[in-house]
Amino acid sequence: MSRKSKIDAIGIDGVCARILDGMSMTAIAEEVGATAGMLVTWIAKDEERSTRAREARAEAAKLWDEKATKTIEDARDPFELAKAKELAHHYRWRASKIAPKDYGDKITAEHTGKDGAPIQYEAIKRVIVDPSGTADTNA
């Protein structure tokens, strides 16, 4: 049985179930004897598979976030709390990698000029006086 047919054997239902169980794409691929790249390519070749895998990863990210919160809440002493905070940090980091849109740190900001037009820059000439008292008019 080829690697591709091993992926086909578990299908997108199996892939999504494993994602929701917290398995990484690498672990899923290893389970079926394929590479992570082969698995990602297999998912990407079909729009339905892509959509379902993306949705499963978003749900898994929510589960990792909930697990982070529960880990902190269940800590019973200062040592467990310190350990729980580290685990929670890791769980939230993991969520940010599998669903960066919802849990990532990247922020996209768009800047536009007046009425949505491109920003216009004007040459501004100003005089800068350094501490010695000489002026620089080339700034």
Whether 75 maps to a domain, the answer reads yes
Whether 27 maps to a domain, the answer reads yes
Q: Match 């389970």 to its residue by tokens.
A: 31
Q: What CATH number should be reported for the domain holding residue 101?
A: 1.10.10.60
Whether 124 maps to a domain, the answer reads no
Mean pLDDT of 48-68: 86
Whether 11 maps to a domain, the answer reads yes
Whether 80 maps to a domain, the answer reads yes
Whether 92 maps to a domain, the answer reads yes
Whether 68 maps to a domain, the answer reads yes
Mean pLDDT of 37-49: 94
Q: Considering only CA atoms, which of 17, 15, 10 is closest in space to residue 26?
A: 15
Could you tell me the residue range of the domain that residue 47 belongs to?
Answer: 3-116
Q: How many domains does the chain have?
A: 1
Whether 137 maps to a domain, the answer reads no
Q: Is 135's pLDDT higher than 60?
A: no
Distance between CA atoms of 6 and 21, rounded to whole angstroms? 19
* More confident: 24 or 103: 24
- Assign 114 a pLDDT band (cuts: 50, 70, 90): confident
Q: Which uninterrupted H or E stretch holds 27? A: helix 25-31
